[in-house]
Amino acid sequence: MKISLAAVPYFWTKPAYQDFYQQVADTNIDTVYLGETVCSKRRSMTLQDWIEIGNLLASKGKQVVLSTMTLLEAESELNYLKKIVQQADFLIEANDMSAIQVANQAGRPFAAGNAINIYNNQSLSLFHKLGMSRWNIPVELGQEDLKPVIPKAQQLGVELEYQVYGRMPLAYSARCFTARHHDLPKDRCQFKCKDDVEGIPVATREGDSFAQINGIQTQSGKLSNLLNHWQKLQAAGIDYARIVPVAPEATLEVIQALTQAINSNQPTVDFTDHTREYCNGYWFQMAGLEMIA
């Protein structure tokens, strides 16, 4: 089984991104996704900046994938998407249908992000015809849901990717929840999300973890954690264990622990962080917030 690192979903400074990926380059991870997927107003990094980081990672033997936005709302965002597709060095992660259309018209293969609604063999075949070479499976699909679909993906030669760590992407909206939280209009948000390395936690009235605000994205409050079940995912036919970044240091620790476990074929991943709450119920066909050890 290979390991992939999703694009950072949060808004960091350019030096923070550069330092993080410099350290990622020195790990044994197989594939790294780069780019802004949540909000086009986050402009600390240009496309050329991402390509330069991609070249660094590629020089260290990593496969690099450039990720696209999940919700496009302006012509300028579509033009930026076209530039991502036009570059020929790296695979594309298409996170909405416009990216799939542009990639298909350009004859470019793509990895389908987990915001793309693929839930059955008919959809899988359709997107494969459009150029999909890898499928990042939606987090709500469990092992029983996937049993009829995995053989079809293998028949088509579509690689399968499943999230094993990180906050789950639950929803996207044209409204910016971070701006709303600070009583600011979206168009004058003052880039408040830069103040939150992992977004803003939201609790229920009873004090339980509920969600994480990240600009226009709503994430799960608890982190999905299937690290100790990676062999089960591999046996089911999953090709890539996907890590969604949290804070830089914690993310690097997870990468190191998981790569060590897989490379040594150890079922237990030597990683513990008691400061966080975890869940993995979806894989086990349960409520997503449940946790199976």
Instruction: Please report, in range form, the residues annotated as the binding site.
Output: 39, 176, 189, 193
Task: Measure the CA angle with vertex 212, ends 208 and 215; round to 5°.
Answer: 155
How is 123-182 classified by DSSP, letter by letter? HHHHHHHHTEEEEE--TT--HHHHTTTHHHHHHHT-EEEEEEEEEEEEEE-SS-HHHHHT
Annotated binding residues for [4Fe-4S] cluster, written as ranges, equal 39, 176, 189, 193
- Measured distance CA(89)–CA(289) in Å, rounded: 39
Q: Which residues pair with 208 in a beta bridge?
A: none
- Measured distance CA(207)–CA(209) in Å, rounded: 7
Residue 213 phi/psi, 5-degree rounding, is: -85, 130
Q: Which residues pair with 225 in a beta bridge?
A: 165
Residue 190 and residue 151 in contact, taking contact as beta carbons nearer than 8 Å:
no
**Closest among 154, 145, 136 to 95, alpha carbons compared:** 136
Residue 106 and residue 126 in contact, taking contact as beta carbons nearer than 8 Å:
no
